[in-house]
Structure 1
Amino acid sequence: MEPTPTPVITIGLNVNHPNFDYSMDELEQLVVANHMQSIATLVQKLDHPDAGTYFGKGKIEELADLVRSTDAETIVANDELSPSQIRNIENATKATVIDRTGLILEIFANRAHTKEAQLQVQLAKLRYQLPRLRTSASQRLDQQAAGGGLANRGAGETKLELNRRTIEHKISHVRHELKELGRSYETQSQRRKENRVKTVALVGYTNAGKSTIMNELVKRYGENEDKQVFVKDMLFATLDTSVRKLELPGNKQLLLSDTVGFVSELPHQLVEAFKSTLKEAATADLLVQVVDYSDPNQELMMETTQRTLQEIGVPNLPMITAFNKADRTGSRFPERAGENLIMSALDPASIDELVAMISTQLFSDYVQKTYLFPFQAGDLVSTFNQEFDVQQTEYQADGTKLTVSLPASAAERYQKYEIN
């Protein structure tokens, strides 16, 4: 039995933000993803946040009363707060304050499983803590430091400097480890290019259905259908980038990656730290943007995806947009318009159409050629049958004639066997 979710109070400040209600709904989902439950919500409309307390004075008093009248010992804010705002709200309410950035960092820390993802989250958390050493981060470090109990001001400043150097040293160490892992990735990436394996990256908002689409493709075209990825109806259910090899009809092989999902106002620490996680998207031959077609905020989600891709340096790559979860809307599916597809990941016909679109985009460089291989080159006939789409085979007196669909780059290597 899972433990009871931690009760929290969610708060938000509407500074004439057109999407404020949506961002508060998303905060509620993030709270659930962190095994918390919002038992009360308090919002205020102001022209700008109070520099010291985020909310105005009267609203802070109302928040303190709300904390006293509920079981909540934690407040979750919808914005990234300054160290002084966190400290002042905590002093006024006697509750722990987590801002939006801290909440997302906690979720990522709990969900990261691979060494690379764990290092990336650690780096993001350290960068987040550095300017907050006078608040919760310094308290935790102080408890760990030997020889505590120095009470005078000078000693306190010395301890703060020690904490700062400790975090900076950890940041340097984590960056070095990530750099080493990055070298390993570059080697793998270079090997893929040499082997001319095409790559497709699923990108999009968290919980849009990327992992479900990947699992359906793995079931049908994967080397091992047991290599499916975790799926749950929750923000950030999966964080670690998964890569699976698929073989489509006609010996067309590709590598499919399921990247971490995006969210509005993704903390800049994570955008920076997860550039390496999202490198699968940056180096892909084709992107498939998965959009929750049943969500009324789908346009905002698409804007967030495009903005995040730009922030992490993903070039302007060819893209298919898969409007998923159409089965929840009453719409007809699958329906294709250009490079857009209205679909349901649980519908076989939708997967068929998506695969057809991927094949058309990904293998547009394929050409049809006819070759005549003499009998002494029989090993090439075997190679062609294993690696390419052999459409017709004829056995003739002077050798084996093959009509083949294959990449133009590969066709050039076998020009001497080509016939008209």
Structure 2
Amino acid sequence: GGGGARRGAGESKLEYDRRHVRRRIEALEQKLAELEKRRGENRRARQRAGTPVVSLVGYTNVGKSSLLNALCGSDALEADMLFATLDPTARKLTLPSGLNVIAVDTVGFVSRLPHKLVEAFKSTLEEAAYSDVIVKVADAADDEREAQLEVTDQVLAELGCGDIPQITVYNKCDKAGAVPFQPGVLLTSARTGRGLDALLQKLDEALADRVRAVKMLLPYDKLSLAEAMRSRGSVTVEDYRENGVWFEGFVKSTDLHLYLPYLEK
């Protein structure tokens, strides 16, 4: 009888643990659905605003979050651990041309990702598919860097990102063991700042058709037009004059038609 009692107690405990796990899974699935909905709303808001999006993608632990911090001066999570960035982190980044973009840090890729984890990370990986430029980041000191870039390329291909401009960056070039590369290879170090200017310039080149430098005098009754310039481009000079406000800066190419009557002749 005692043995049967013990088995019954054990079975009850096992069933309790199973129910607890099922409840936990359901709660996580609900939270994931809420996160995916919010990301979708944020993505649609960025698309309506017309702000270009730059996604940092790559294998886990290549320094994407550190690179984002160095570029944007932000406080995105940095951690030397698997899947440190479970939720994409977006930050405003102003390029040398003055164009404002959104830089997005995505979850690190892993080769042979277990099937049960694919759905959990799908919505974070999909951020890359909605980008205007993809920055593929590799660890310059990792012997597996080329294999990791192949994994990144495979995932991007599965997401349908083949037509999106891509820039390959070898980060952590200041680490011991980083091997020399051929001229033209983009090397960066989030720690020392090496190569960051070159990366920003590359982004400007990739988005060159998205922005135009302008000088114009906006009449006071047309100052509402300046909002698009401030939010989707940038203002470098703003001078109040008798007949209006003189602006110098950058506007999106798709907004240029708004300012044609007021541009400097």
- Would you call these one fold, judging by a TM-score over 0.5? yes
1:322 counterpart residue number: 169
Alignment of 1:11-410 (within 5 A): 143-145=13-15, 175=29, 177-219=31-73, 225=74, 227-232=75-80, 234-249=81-96, 251-311=98-158, 313-316=159-162, 317-327=164-174, 328=176, 329=178, 331=180, 337=184, 340-378=185-223, 380=225, 384=229, 388-390=233-235, 398-410=243-255
Q: Deviation at 1:190?
A: 1.3
**1:211 & 1:410 partners in 2: Cα distance?**
32
Structure number with the bigger relative contact order (C-alpha 8 A, sep ≥ 6) is 2
Give the letter for the 2:258 counterpart: R
Q: Deviation at 1:241?
A: 2.6
Deviation digits for residues 120-159 of structure 1 (CA, Å, limit 9, x no counterpart): xxxxxxxxxxxxxxxxxxxx9863426xxxxxxxxxxxxx
Preserved contact between residue 271 and residue 308 of structure 1 (Cα < 8 Å): no
The 1:180–1:371 alpha-carbon spacing in structure 2 relative to 1, beyond 3 Å, is same
The 1:352–1:277 alpha-carbon spacing in structure 2 relative to 1, beyond 3 Å, is same
Deviation digits for residues 23-71 of structure 1 (CA, Å, limit 9, x no counterpart): xxxxxxxxxxxxxxxxxxxxxxxxxxxxxxxxxxxxxxxxxxxxxxxxx
Q: Deviation at 1:203?
A: 0.8
4+ residue runs of structure 1 moved beyond 6 angstroms?
A: 165-173, 392-397
* Paired-residue identity, %: 33
The 1:244–1:392 alpha-carbon spacing in structure 2 relative to 1, beyond 3 Å, is closer
The 1:216–1:392 alpha-carbon spacing in structure 2 relative to 1, beyond 3 Å, is closer
Q: Deviation at 1:184?
A: 2.5
**1:241 & 1:399 partners in 2: Cα distance?**
42
The 1:142–1:415 alpha-carbon spacing in structure 2 relative to 1, beyond 3 Å, is farther
The 1:238–1:182 alpha-carbon spacing in structure 2 relative to 1, beyond 3 Å, is closer
Give the letter for the 1:305 counterpart: T
Preserved contact between residue 336 and residue 342 of structure 1 (Cα < 8 Å): no
In the alignment, is residue 412 of structure 1 matched against residue 257 of structure 2? Answer: yes
**2:12 & 2:147 partners in 1: Cα distance?**
42
**1:201 & 1:314 partners in 2: Cα distance?**
14
Give the letter for the 2:53 counterpart: T
What secondary structure, in the 3-state scheme, does the structure 1 residue paired with 2:109 have? coil
What secondary structure, in the 3-state scheme, does the structure 1 residue paired with 2:186 have? strand
How well do the aligned residues superpose, as a CA RMSD in angstroms?
3.5
The 1:381–1:143 alpha-carbon spacing in structure 2 relative to 1, beyond 3 Å, is closer
The 1:216–1:407 alpha-carbon spacing in structure 2 relative to 1, beyond 3 Å, is same
Q: Deviation at 1:321?
A: 0.4
What secondary structure, in the 3-state scheme, does the structure 2 residue paired with 1:145 have? helix
The 1:177–1:240 alpha-carbon spacing in structure 2 relative to 1, beyond 3 Å, is closer
Structure 2: stretches of 5+ with no match in the other structure: 1-9
Preserved contact between residue 369 and residue 418 of structure 1 (Cα < 8 Å): yes
Count matched residues: 252
What secondary structure, in the 3-state scheme, does the structure 2 residue paired with 1:275 have? helix
Q: Deviation at 1:263?
A: 2.1
1:59 counterpart residue number: none
The 1:141–1:302 alpha-carbon spacing in structure 2 relative to 1, beyond 3 Å, is farther
Give the letter for the 1:303 counterpart: E
Give the letter for the 2:250 counterpart: S
Give the letter for the 2:105 counterpart: D
Moved more, 165-174 or 400-409: 165-174
Preserved contact between residue 86 and residue 121 of structure 2 (Cα < 8 Å): no
What secondary structure, in the 3-state scheme, does the structure 1 residue paired with 2:128 have? helix
